[in-house]
Structure formats: structure tokens, C-alpha cells
Structure 1
Amino acid sequence: MMENQAKKLKRTITLVRILIKYGFEELLIRSNIRSLLSPSATEADSFESDGEKLSFNVYERIRMALEELGPTYVKFGQAFSTREDLLPKDMIVELQKLQDKVEPEALDVRGFIEADLGVEPDQLFKHIESEPFASASISQVYKATLKNGSAVILKIKRGGIREVVASDMLIMKDVAKLLVSYSEVFRKVNLVEVLEAFEKSIFHELSFLNELSNIEQFSRNFNDNKDIYLIKTYPELSNDNILCMEYVDGVKITDKPVLIEMGLEPAEIAARGLDLYLTQVLDHGFFHADPHPGNLLVLASGQIAFIDFGTMGSMMPKDKEQLEDFISYFIAQDARRLIAVIKKMAIRFSIPDETKLEKDIHDFFNLLEGSSLHQMDVKEVLSKFSGILNENEILMPEHLYLLVRGIVLIEGIGRALVPDLNIIESLKPYILKIALARLSPEYLQKKGIKFLRTMADALKTVPDDLVSIVSKLNSGELKVVQEVRELPALQERIVQGFNRTVFAIVLCGVWISSALLVLADKPPKWSGIPALAWIGFAISAVLMLILLISYIFGKKPGKKI
């Protein structure tokens, strides 16, 4: 604990020095960040602004300060580089300049491998380059050749990087709490929650075993897809500090002239890349969270290889289904249902005026209608929609923010290859696929059984709940004081609602039974479907019609129960 506090204090002093160097002393005073330092620390260090640095505008100075503060702050800035709904455009431009590239540090690669893996490098490798061909804030990457002649890369974690990130995160969380307490703006953008999601993401990226697991799951998902090249990994030569995988000799996906020289059609490559990404999101629910051009390589065969799996987006089946609903209602421009599914998806929301929210979304749809599809910028569309969510303090789960970033990057790649690419049009086949899947007997059977189980579980608890309520009423623990006007009308509505619920359960039962009969495949048949199933579906249709009429005209379906 004392060691962590000492590291935190040291990094805090560095933070204060750099902020003052770039002219942000007023921020320190307003947010009281200096309170994080002990008096002895502030007296021992003199902080002075750098006059040369102050000649740059404020957004340039923010970017330069983040770069000097190191990997944690650079990655945090990169995470906000697509949040045009939150930050000024000029600041977004500067954040997008942030490069996760640092000078390589001296490293005895062979000695590191021997110490960390416990094996003699010459037993496994024919050759290992002593200088890295890529150097980032978290790791350095070296080319090597295995004894069997296979070309591989060795991704080696920088020494002490986990400790640096851990101390940075402690400071950033303290600063976030101060900023939230001093400014309503930071509270509304959910700064603390955003920072928690970022912390989770960066520590996942620090674990090479986590990245290895991501690559293996990604490969299983695309096992039968010929359009993608799946990178081979070497688990026996990997651990939490070293990741060994196949070296892929490919071309950056946005290098259009080289693609044409290779005899490849840029439009086909763009369509293939978009299709592969949408497959990850809508089919697998497990997607690459940073698909920038440097992480997508094109091989001579036309296959696309994704690299760098440190951060992935992941969705549970429920999340994926809600995303499908969101996309369907968005494309259909159904504002009311869109708001309903947003509430289900949100971690937290505070909608002051739902009617205004619905109107804002309708206005947003009208704006889209008035724009030419081929001129539509997905980044701008998502930014405007995120702005509507932020006004209502709607906090969405982390995987959605990762998805938005991914879609913006993929659309940028597509437009670099095909200027008039329209990603909205590309989504429509997936919407049709989702709609057809939800009309299948298997899906209806699954949802019907789930509904009946939910109802059965609810009904099981009703007797016990009633007994408990009556017991509390008798003992005087629970008292109900309520004035009910127009009681007969209220009783009528309650009975009517109960009747409709029971009627709906019967309707579901008949529909599910009919679907099961389809799967049973028993004669006699008509158009390939058993006659009994047709009868069941017909009864279901009649019952549905009666139920709809009862809702429209206020009549009860059947006698009172």
C-alpha cells in the first residue's frame, strides 16, 4: 500500500509539472488537483510554465501534454478522439493526432525470452532480430524465425508498464472525482463511469494471455470463412509478457494504389472488410474494437487479416438482440420503439421530458431524410445521435461505445477505397436477415417457451406473496390507506386486463404447439407442413384477431374467469 502511494505521489508531481509547463495552472487551481500532493512535495518542486509551449493554441497544448504524460494518457485521449458529441471539433482534430509510438528501449531479447519462458532461445528460434520493427507504449515487436522456417513476431511487454498504468489510473480517478464535484459538465458526460470502462480496457490490453485468448476465439468464430486470413498463434511460446504469433506479410487496407497493382478491386475489398466487421458484430457478438487501417492487412489472395487483438468488444446474447432491435427501429425510423429499446440497453438514464426526446429523434430522422445517402457521414450521424443521448444523461454500456468507434473507423476505411460508400445501405441485408430469423419456427418456439417459463415462475410466487401480504395486514405491519374513485370502473379494467393476460397465454400455447407440430413432421401434410399445424396456426390467427378486437373496442375476449 505504501509503495503504491509513493508511486502515485511521484506520478502526481509529474502530472502537475507537465500541466503547468503547458499553461494549465488555472485548471489546477480550479479543480484543486494540487490538493492531491502533500505540502512538502509542492515546496520541494518548483513548477514553471514553458513560454515556447504557450505559443500553441489550447487544443495543441492538450495533445502535447497528453503525449508527454505517457501511454495511459495517450490512450485515454485516443479513446475520446471519436467523441465529437462531447468535445469541440478542433480538439477532436488534435486528439486524432495522438500517436501510440515511443522510442524503443534497449532490451536483450534472447535473455528476456530465456528468463521469462525458461527455455534456451536457440532451441526454438533460427533467428531473432535484436532491434524492434515496431515500438508502442505498452510493447515492442520483434521479427523472428522458428527452427522450422516459419516467420513469426514476438510482442514483448515493456518493463514496469503495468505499475506505471496502475499509478496513472489512481491519479486519473482522483482527478475525475474532483472534476465531477466542481463541474456539472463532467458529471453529465459520465466521466467517472467512462474512466472505469477505460481502466478495464487498458488492463485487458496489458495482458497478453487475454490477447491470445481473443485471437483464438476470433479464429473459432471465422473458422469456415474464406474471405478472412486467420493468424496462427504459438501458445507454447507465449505468456502474460510475451506473445508469439505468425508474421503476416500484407498491405495496409487503405493503400489503394498497391491494391490495384496487386490486381485487386478496391470496391470488393471495401465490401469484404465491411461484411467481415458486421459479421463480427451482428452474428458473433465479439468484435475488433480498434479496426484502424494499420490493423487490417490485405494479402495477395484478397483475404483480409485483422491484427492486434488487445481490446475486443463483447456482447451477451441479450445485448446482441437489443442491438438488433436498435438497428431495426433506427432504419425503420420508429422513434417510440427506439426509445424503449434505448432504455433497456442503458446502464442509467435521466430523461426529463420523454415527449421532447421523441421529437428530437423525429427531427433527427427528418434531417437524415433530407440528406443524400452517398453524402452521409456516419461519424457525423452517430455524433448527432450521441448528443441527443447525452442531453438526457443516457449512459450506454461500454461495448456500444467500442462499437461506435469501430463503425466510424470501418466507414473511414470504406470511403478511402470507395468515396461514395454508404454503410447504411450495407446494413439493410443484415436487417432482412434478422427479420427472417425472428419469423422462424425455432425462434418463435424459443421465445414462446421463455415467455411461458417467465409467466410460470411469476405465478408460482403469487400465492406466497398474497399470504405474506395478508399476514402483514392482519398483524398490523402493513396498512393501506387509499381513496379510489370510480371503483367499479377500476375493477372492470383489472378483470379485463387479467382476462386478456390469460387469453394471451392460451394464444401463445396454441402457437407454440403448432410450431412443435411443424418440427414433428407428421402426415397428412399440405405444402410440406402437417395439417394439424395448419389448424393450430388458423386457431391462433382467430384468437389473435379476437384479442386485437378486444383491445380496439374494449370488449373482453371471452367470459370472466
Structure 2
Amino acid sequence: MVTRIRRYAQIVDVLSQYGFGIGIERLFPGKTKFRLPSTGKSIDTLTVYERMRLVLEDLGPTFVKFGQIMSTRAELLPPELIEQLKKLQDHAKPIPFSEVMEVIRESCPDCEEFFQEIDETPVASASIGQVHRAVMRDGTVVAFKIQRPGIAELIETDIAILQSLAERIETVFPETRLYNPSGMVEDFAHQIVKELDFTRDARNADRMARNFRDVPGIRFPKIYWQFSSPHLLVMEFVEGVRIDDREAIMAMGFDPHEIGVRGFHAYLKMIFEDGFFHGDPHPGNLLVTKDGDIVFLDFGIVGILRPEKRQNFINLLFALSTDDIELMIRSLEGFGIIIAEQDREPLRDDLYIMMHDFGGGEAEVGQMNFSLVVSELTESMRRYRLKVPMNLMLLLKVFMMVLDIGVRLDPQFNFSKEVTPYLVKLADTNTLSAGYIKRASMSLLEGADALLDMPRNLNLMLRRLS
């Protein structure tokens, strides 16, 4: 077990290797000894943001996770740093199989009675857990997700150090307070502690499976609760290809366009109907099986939206597609973002210029890039030091990732055309005219502005679109 003092020393050593020794000396004057970068690590050609990423990678799982979560905070951090944080990879040295079996025996003493084999070679190895394929005595193939031994203690130590460093940074470098380092660490600690409990992962999977029980073509792995615990998750083993592997999908005889439509509609349902969505839709977490089903994996990160927050997101998308600056500001405030009175007029000007640059509501479908618009919006938030809640940033990140998958599957993917049936399904057909449906779908921003019927703002939307 790594003691806090020893871990502090490791952190200081890594920081100094990448040229941050002077900063450490300012934080702890006269109390640290740092060394210049070793000859094995040339940093002369690296930017400060590249060096920051390398520091996180060298410091291991906690810091990699911290960087990955911070990569969603584009409204707080410089774009150059965000780009580097997005490159962080959650890979780790495999756990020795003897240690894997120790975790299994401790977490599930009876497991060996029910399983005839457990593959020694892991299917995947990440910072928190490792996955192994196993076969039950009745021939059922399952996946064992084992929590890395000692990871909880390491994360606890690292969080305490991060909290201490954040407080010290805010004291020594007052200008950093606008980035709220302590708040960043607090948000991270809240998230990472949840990910350490595998039963929460299992509950999330079960809840999504219930939400989609009547939706064909969308599946979630079955959880074997009798064998699972906070440190061990046993679930159905799913074989398939990554959802962005267009060639493999076609080789199996499926239409990539249809797969994209189905996946997109699944997320629309999660966000706008269920208010409970899968929060990590990178292509490795969405598989297409030989039967053509889309299977979701990894439920450690989920988003939860109350009905009023779903309404606010609809308002934001609607505002982006129709150049409604006032509605855009109100929808941001609806997420709890506080805009200082003196910043309102300059912010209005910036948002107006942004929408003019991107074509706004006059743009034809496909001319506007939702990711670029959101990037510009978050840059405005950063410029005016707006504190954006994590659930909104997660929602925007997820929406952009899902749209990106759709475009990879079909560069000509027409999101507005595909969203129209979804609008019809959800809308109050006694209120929404066919003309509204057509105009709303054609105003979609890269197909992302699913203007769903919500009672509170329906009349406003109808008036603006009539």
C-alpha cells in the first residue's frame, strides 16, 4: 500500500521530470527537492499542455481518470489542454491471473463450483477493472469484470492529495480560482467513487434494460447478480464489432445507415423520454452483434435528467437552430448557470456573432457542424467565467459523440429526416401540425435539434415557426 507521503514524493518527482519543478517550489517553498528532466525524457519540443498530459499518464489510474473527466470541461479549460486530455488512454498493465482468482474467491466464494473455465488472458485491462471470459458449467459464456486489487486505496490516497494540491494552488496562484480547482477535484471524487462500486454499474445496466424491454434491436448485457459484488461483476459475454466499424457491419450483411439511425434513436429515447442515459458512448462501448443488435457496455458513467432539465436542453437546441439568443440564455440559466448582469449584453453580442458565423436558423441541413457550434458556445462560457454543471457538459459531450458515430457510419446521414418519425411519435398530434413537424425537422442543427413537444414552451415554438 502506498503511503500518502511516498505518493506525494512520486507526484513531485514526475512533475519535476516534465519541467514543473519551479511551480512545485512555489507551492511548497523550501520543502521539496526536484530534479531536472532525465535524459530519457526530452521535453524541449513539447508544449506545456502535452507535458501536462504526460504527467497524468505517468501518475497512473487516478490521474488518467481525472484528466478524462476534465476533458469534458471545455467551458473552463483552454482548448489546447482539452485536446490533450482527450488523448488520454485508459489502459493498464494486466493483473496477474493469480491475483484475479484471489479477487474472485474473496468476492464470490462459490463461483468456482459454477464455472468450468476462466480464461487466463484478459479481454481488456483498464485502470479500475479487468475483464476475463468465463464459461459456466451449463455452457453459458459470461464476462468477469474484476476490480484491480488496491485500486480503491490508491484512489483514496490520490484524491486526498489532489484536494490538498487544489487548495494550495488556489492560495498560491489566486488567478486559478476562476477555474475552481477544488470544485473540479470534488466533482471527480464524486464520480470516481461511484465507479468503484460495480453493483451500481449492474443496477444501471438493469435499469436501461427495463427501459428498452419493448425496443427491438437494442440490448444490454444480462447481469448475474448471484455472483456479483462491489468488486466483481459477472455479466453476459457479448461478441460483436465496434459500432463505428462500417466495413465489418456491411460484411455481416447490415446497413450502416440503419444501425446509425437505431443508435441515434436509442439515445433520443434515453435523454428525452427516460431522462437516464448512457454516459460513455465511445465506439468500444457499443457493439453490433451477428444478429444486428446494438449492445451497450460499461455503465459506470450515466446521466440523469429531471423533466425540467430535459426541457432546458430542448430549449437550447431549439435556440441554436432558430437564432433565438434570449431563449439560449434562458435555457442556460435553466441549467443553473449564473450570468452576471454586466456580462449579459456582451454575451448576447458574442452569441449573435457565433450564430451568424455558423449560418444559424438559415443554414441548410448539413451546413452546420453541431460539434463546432458547441465548442464555440463553451468557449463563450469560458470567456465569461460561467460555471456550467457537470450534467450539461456530459449531455453535450454524449450528444456530440453519438452524432460523430452516425457520421462515421454514413457521411450523408440526414439526422433531420430520421428525427421526424421520433417527433411524430412523441408529439401531441392534436396540437402539432404536419407543417410544424416539417419545419422543425428541417431546422435541425446537424440533425441534433430534436424539437420535441413539451407543454411549457410549445406555444412559443409554434408562434416562432408559424
TM category (shorter chain) comes to: 0.7 to 0.9
CA contact (8 A) 1:189 1:390 kept: no
Structure 1 residue 291: deviation in Å?
Answer: 0.3
Matches within 5 A, 1:109-258: 109-119=100-110, 121=112, 123-183=113-173, 186-258=176-248
* Higher relative contact order, chain-length normalized (CA < 8 Å, sep 6+): 2
Of 393, 402, 408, the residue aligned with 2:394 is 402
Seen in structure 2, the aligned counterparts of structure 1 residues 110 and 76 have a Cα distance that, compared at 3 Å, is closer
Structure 1 residue 159: deviation in Å?
Answer: 0.8
Matched, 1:62 2:52: yes
Seen in structure 2, the aligned counterparts of structure 1 residues 185 and 85 have a Cα distance that, compared at 3 Å, is farther
Of 27, 38, 53, the residue aligned with 1:50 is 38
CA contact (8 A) 1:328 1:431 kept: no
Distance 1:322 1:77 in 2: 28
Q: Which has the higher helix share?
A: 1
Give the AA of the match of 1:112: V
Of 276, 300, 307, the residue aligned with 2:297 is 307
Match of 1:266 in 2: 256
Distance 1:257 1:286 in 2: 31
Distance 2:57 2:357 in 1: 38
Seen in structure 2, the aligned counterparts of structure 1 residues 424 and 339 have a Cα distance that, compared at 3 Å, is farther
**When the two structures are aligned, how many residues end up with a matched partner?**
427
Match of 1:289 in 2: 279
Structure 1 residue 363: deviation in Å?
Answer: 2.0
Match of 2:373 in 1: 381
3-state SS of 2:144 partner:
strand
3-state SS of 2:366 partner:
helix
Matched, 1:367 2:357: yes
Match of 1:13 in 2: 9
Structure 1 residue 252: deviation in Å?
Answer: 0.5
CA contact (8 A) 2:74 2:382 kept: no
- State the TM-score, normalized to the length of structure 2: 0.84
Identity among equivalent pairs (%): 33
3-state SS of 2:3 partner:
helix
Determine which structure has more spread, i.e. the larger CA radius of gyration.
1
Distance 1:296 1:82 in 2: 20
Match of 1:554 in 2: none
In terms of mean alpha carbon deviation, does 147-156 or 174-183 score higher?
Answer: 174-183
Give the AA of the match of 2:216: K
Distance 1:269 1:115 in 2: 41
Matched, 1:28 2:21: no
Cα RMSD of the aligned pairs, angstroms, is: 2.6
Q: Which runs of 5+ in 2 are unaligned?
A: 433-466
3-state SS of 1:131 partner:
coil
Distance 2:138 2:334 in 1: 53
In terms of mean alpha carbon deviation, does 236-245 or 180-189 score higher?
Answer: 180-189
CA contact (8 A) 2:280 2:301 kept: yes
Structure 1 residue 251: deviation in Å?
Answer: 0.7
Matches within 5 A, 1:471-510: none
CA contact (8 A) 2:75 2:388 kept: no
Of 407, 420, 444, the residue aligned with 1:415 is 407
Q: Deviations over 1:481-532 (max 9, x none)?
A: xxxxxxxxxxxxxxxxxxxxxxxxxxxxxxxxxxxxxxxxxxxxxxxxxxxx
Structure 1 residue 367: deviation in Å?
Answer: 2.0
Distance 1:83 1:146 in 2: 43
Distance 1:410 1:205 in 2: 22
CA contact (8 A) 1:227 1:303 kept: yes
Seen in structure 2, the aligned counterparts of structure 1 residues 195 and 112 have a Cα distance that, compared at 3 Å, is closer
Q: Deviations over 1:408-448 (max 9, x none)?
A: 221221121112336577666666766638959xxxxxxxx
3-state SS of 1:396 partner:
coil
Distance 1:438 1:386 in 2: 37
Give the AA of the match of 2:106: A
Structure 1 residue 227: deviation in Å?
Answer: 2.3
Q: Which runs of 5+ in 1 are unaligned?
A: 441-561
- State the TM-score, normalized to the length of structure 1: 0.70
Match of 1:479 in 2: none
Distance 1:292 1:159 in 2: 26
Structure 1 residue 185: deviation in Å?
Answer: 5.4
Q: Deviations over 1:241-287 (max 9, x none)?
A: 00000000111011111111111111111111111112111111111
CA contact (8 A) 2:15 2:55 kept: yes
CA contact (8 A) 1:155 1:243 kept: yes
CA contact (8 A) 1:281 1:287 kept: yes
Distance 2:175 2:417 in 1: 36
Give the AA of the match of 1:27: G
Distance 1:329 1:308 in 2: 33
